[in-house]
Structure 1
Amino acid sequence: MRKINSFGKEMAIGAIVVLFVFLLYVGLPPAILVMGLLMFGALFFIARTRGGLAMGTAGKKATARKPDYLTFEDIGGQDQPKRELTEALDFLVHREKIQKLGIRPLKGILLTGPPGTGKTLLAKAAAQYTHSAFIAASGSEFVEMYVGVGAGRIRDLFKEVRQQAIKQKRDSAIIFIDEIDGIGGKRDGGQHREYDQTLNQLLTEMDGVQGDESVRVLLIAATNRKELLDPALLRPGRFDRQIQVDLPDKTGREHILKLHARNKPMAKDVSLSKVADETFGFSGAQLESLMNEAAIYAMRESSDTLQTSHLTQAIDKVMMGERMDRETNSEERERVAIHELGHAIVAENVRPESVAQVSLTPRGQALGYVRHHPQQDQYLYTQIVLEEQIMIALGGAVAEEIFYGGRSTGSRGDFEQATNIVRTLIESGMSKLGIIHPQALTQEQWSAENAEILNQLTDRTRELLGKHKETFNQLLDHLIREETLSGKQLRDILREKAA
């Protein structure tokens, strides 16, 4: 076959050469001949590339990937999602029981939640729990510029997983599609025919999964943006269960830390419970990164075990980035110190015992930072708590105003945080506007209410810091000299000045 193809190519080249010589002989200008040959070659290349790519992508089959051996016990911090998922998976495991009760088998399970919370791990554990054949894919793998390619890959995916189940002598199979919003987005009636055909094929395959088939296929999908999915995909009979996978609470964080500490030598005085306290809002992926970074810090110091100091540095690294070797001049260094002390003094006044450390060490984009003691996991906030948080955010800029008469660009992130909290206040009905739908407000009303709230809280912050102006000098000398100021030292100086 290769010899025939090679012979055909030689014949084609020979024919083109003969035609070129003949056209020269009859008097056609060489420039026109060259341009014609170039256009012919370009068209031939495009046609061949498109045809080859279309054939290659359409004929590409989904490959079965055997999941890592992972059980639900190996996943920490997601007890509720694990219970919901296990109950749904029991429909695959206990077929006789569901048939006796007349329960329709589930066809799809949608896992939603923030990034890094363990949605992919839950899907892998599901395959082990049910002893099912397993294929994993990403939504982006089905998106092509050529119409029909994505739909073909969907068909191949379901066909392949059934073949794998039969080959492995299993009566159930699980398909996991991560980031399903890549193919399951809302259809807007536009010209995205490829996206529509791919989604339509997925809907058809899900509808075709019948309970009397020899291999029962369950589709598990994950997304961070459920609101983008097409309603036809979310209706009962397709994704029958929608399981929210949220950030872990304190108990869950401690469990995750213990799982990732199993292969690491920990010092005897290390308290993972305390680390769990200090990592409120961390996802499972961030906690895994924290333990890994702590091990790296231990390696840098040639330590045989992970110490509490390594974990503390790792928390700062995950939250704010790596320590930077930026050299600042004395004026800039003093301004940063004033700024951070403004945050710390306000925090200690509105939330006593909350400051753990004030540092001038640059990390990520921050030239300095204030580290707070962990608070109890909190999911509901009152107006007083939100206003205090805004005052803490404004403390740095107000301190600069008091000492320098103006602000700097270092307050940009603080202002963004403050305005986000103000939005929460307004949308929660805690402003003078009362209970109102956010879309009912014009841009002018938003701006006016936002400015009024921020101006009132700025005045309160300025009044509070004005009472501690003399304290700044003593705190400033210590912070510039040592680069760090512990929360205890801060509180001792504040009490001494107040006495």
Structure 2
Amino acid sequence: MIKEISIGISMAALLSMLIMGYDITPFLFLAAAAGGLYYFARMRGLINVKNFETVSVAERRDFSFDDIGGQESAIKELKEALDFIKNHCSIKHLGIRPLKGILLTGPPGTGKTLMAKAAASYTDAAFVASSGSEFIEMYAGVGAQRVRKLFQSARETASRQKKNNALVFIDEIEILGGKRGKTTSHLEYDQTLNQLLVEMDGLKVDDNVRVLLVAATNRDDMLDPALLRPGRFDRRVKVDLPDKEGRLQILKLHTRNKPLAGDVKLEAIAKDTFGFSGAHLESLANEAAILAMREDSQEICQHHFNESIDKVMMGGKLDKKPSEADMKRVAVHESGHALLSEIVRRGSVSAVTVTPRGDALGYMRQTPEDDTYLYTKDFLENQIAIMLAGSVAEEIILGNRSTGSSGDFEQAVRAADTILRSGMSDLGVVCPDSLPQELKHKTITGIVNGQEERVKNYIIESKHIFNSTVEILLEEEKISGDRFREIMREKLN
């Protein structure tokens, strides 16, 4: 605002001088020179280095750890570390060195930034945030200066807010704190990281403003070892994908301001969304509300959530309409997947559709029995069978296969490779790196071919089921898992 007023006054003065007959050429020259010097200083980072984002306590008074769902373990571990900041008098009496840094690691969308903001509220600290990419410039020395400015800004912000604690949050710290020696053009990356190490080493418990650095990354393998050693990042908190109970908590948080219909079952939605992050679940709830609005519905129903799960997983519906022959082939393909899925585990099919979404012309969605983190050989072989069932169904029902199975084959080979690497193949425990490629190929091919023969027998015995499912899919484009199971019971009895 002050800058705009100054420019306006200057322009008015020059115009007045021009009207009065004065030669304003020298003034224009001086103005141009001053503007050039100011621009050069800005580019070099010498003036107005960075106005880092500052969030006052008043703006986040309603945000706390209670607003974060599905991360009970991470929150507990983080709170334990933050208690050292809150109880600084006790730790000084016991001679405990204060924590200088906390590193939040985990997949994207799991709530690392939210946890940093909640940590600032928990410790009643001034909050200053930045991103790792904001420190790297083509000019040498700018990044290091911005690091100094960041910590200085944190202390000044805390002083203005009359607080004793300040929390500095750096997102995507792998850009700023990557392993040194990788960049050969200039040492800007290394200088910036060195300055961060110096700033962290200078944090003391008896400072007027106690500064805690909290950083987030999903690529902790890229960080420099000097940054990870004790005395800098003293705690590494894993913020992982939520389990089923965690997903239920997150769904409750994101639907508390939405009118839900009586048929909505959040428990079922939580079960169907294995592998979803908090960001995925927030998008799911939002997409369901959008679908309800499009239908002029005053409430969000279960079918809105079911449709939104498909959209978040696969993308929006595409306008392209395959030919009738292609539609039939896709229907046969997806029916094959669904049939094998039900054979190996009853009740596993959630929906079968031939509606094009993203890169897929159709798909079969499974309902996981439970969140699984360890896989047995039987489980992996069943997954290979399900992946192969689409192409086998095409061959048996239609007489040939298509290129639509290439993605399924890649997944099947990866699952077979997992069996090999886990020591569950006929070779037993092996070193994959020293295993001859010919023997490795033969073993993986044998696993896949064995499951393919198994699938062929299942498909041949159940050929009569395909006519009904394909007919319904071509007419309605989608079959629910319950309806597919009804068809199987009718045809098998």
TM-score, normalised to structure 1, is: 0.88
Q: After the TM superposition, which residues 326-405 of structure 1 pair with which residues of structure 2 at under 5 Å, given as runs?
A: 326-405=320-399
Q: Distance in 1 between matches of 2:324 and 2:394?
A: 15
Of residues 47-56 and 486-495 in structure 1, the stretch that sits farther from structure 2 once superposed is 47-56
Q: Distance in 1 between matches of 2:46 and 2:402?
A: 54
Q: After the TM superposition, which residues 104-183 of structure 1 pair with which residues of structure 2 at under 5 Å, given as runs?
A: 104-183=97-176
Is residue 2:227 matched to residue 1:233? yes
Is residue 2:49 matched to residue 1:60? yes
- The structural deviation recorded for 1:441 is 3.5
Q: After the TM superposition, which residues 4-19 of structure 1 pair with which residues of structure 2 at under 5 Å, given as runs?
A: 7=26, 10=29
Structure 2 vs 1, CA of residues 54 and 444 (structure 1 numbering), >3 Å: closer, same or farther? Answer: farther
Alpha-carbon contact 1:427-1:438 (below 8 Å) kept? yes
Q: Aligned pairs, how many?
A: 467
Of residues 463-472 and 433-442 in structure 1, the stretch that sits farther from structure 2 once superposed is 433-442
Structure 2 vs 1, CA of residues 10 and 319 (structure 1 numbering), >3 Å: closer, same or farther? Answer: closer
Structure 2 vs 1, CA of residues 429 and 57 (structure 1 numbering), >3 Å: closer, same or farther? Answer: farther
Match of 1:39 in 2: none
Match of 1:89 in 2: 82
Unaligned ranges ≥5, structure 2:
1-5, 15-22
Q: Distance in 1 between matches of 2:117 and 2:86?
A: 16
Match of 2:194 in 1: 200
Give, as a single letter, the amino acid of the residue that structure 1 aligns with 2:110. Answer: T
Alpha-carbon contact 1:58-1:149 (below 8 Å) kept? no
Q: Distance in 2 between matches of 1:110 and 1:226?
A: 9
Q: Distance in 1 between matches of 2:240 and 2:358?
A: 27
Q: After the TM superposition, which residues 165-314 of structure 1 pair with which residues of structure 2 at under 5 Å, given as runs?
A: 165-188=158-181, 190-191=183-184, 192-314=186-308
Q: Distance in 2 between matches of 1:286 and 1:358?
A: 22
Give, as a single letter, the amino acid of the residue that structure 2 aligns with 1:142. Answer: F
Structure 2 vs 1, CA of residues 136 and 6 (structure 1 numbering), >3 Å: closer, same or farther? Answer: farther
Among all aligned residue pairs of Structure 1 and Structure 2, give the percentage whose two residues are the same amino acid: 53
Q: Give the match's secondary structure for 2:181.
A: coil
Is residue 2:91 matched to residue 1:72? no
Deviations 1:243-269 (A, max 9, x none): 000111111111111111111111123
Alpha-carbon contact 1:64-1:160 (below 8 Å) kept? no
Structure 2 vs 1, CA of residues 403 and 125 (structure 1 numbering), >3 Å: closer, same or farther? Answer: same
Structure 2 vs 1, CA of residues 10 and 360 (structure 1 numbering), >3 Å: closer, same or farther? Answer: closer
TM-score, normalised to structure 2, is: 0.89
Match of 2:488 in 1: 494
Match of 1:409 in 2: 403
Give 2:91's match in structure 1, choosing from 56, 73, 98.
98
Match of 1:472 in 2: 466
Structure 2 vs 1, CA of residues 398 and 50 (structure 1 numbering), >3 Å: closer, same or farther? Answer: farther
- The structural deviation recorded for 1:318 is 0.8
Structure 2 vs 1, CA of residues 153 and 281 (structure 1 numbering), >3 Å: closer, same or farther? Answer: same
Q: Distance in 2 between matches of 1:404 and 1:168?
A: 73
Deviations 1:100-147 (A, max 9, x none): 222110000000001100000000000001111111000000011111
- The structural deviation recorded for 1:10 is 4.8
Give 2:314's match in structure 1, choosing from 320, 345, 348.
320
Q: Distance in 1 between matches of 2:416 and 2:484?
A: 29
Q: Distance in 2 between matches of 1:314 and 1:211?
A: 49
Alpha-carbon contact 1:162-1:215 (below 8 Å) kept? yes
Q: Give the match's secondary structure for 1:240.
A: strand
Of residues 411-420 and 324-333 in structure 1, the stretch that sits farther from structure 2 once superposed is 411-420
Q: Distance in 1 between matches of 2:174 and 2:263?
A: 45
Alpha-carbon contact 1:64-1:164 (below 8 Å) kept? no
Give, as a single letter, the amino acid of the residue that structure 2 aligns with 1:449. Answer: T
Q: Distance in 2 between matches of 1:280 and 1:322?
A: 20
Q: Distance in 1 between matches of 2:51 and 2:242?
A: 33
Q: Distance in 1 between matches of 2:228 and 2:443?
A: 38
Alpha-carbon contact 2:41-2:47 (below 8 Å) kept? no
Of residues 314-323 and 105-114 in structure 1, the stretch that sits farther from structure 2 once superposed is 314-323
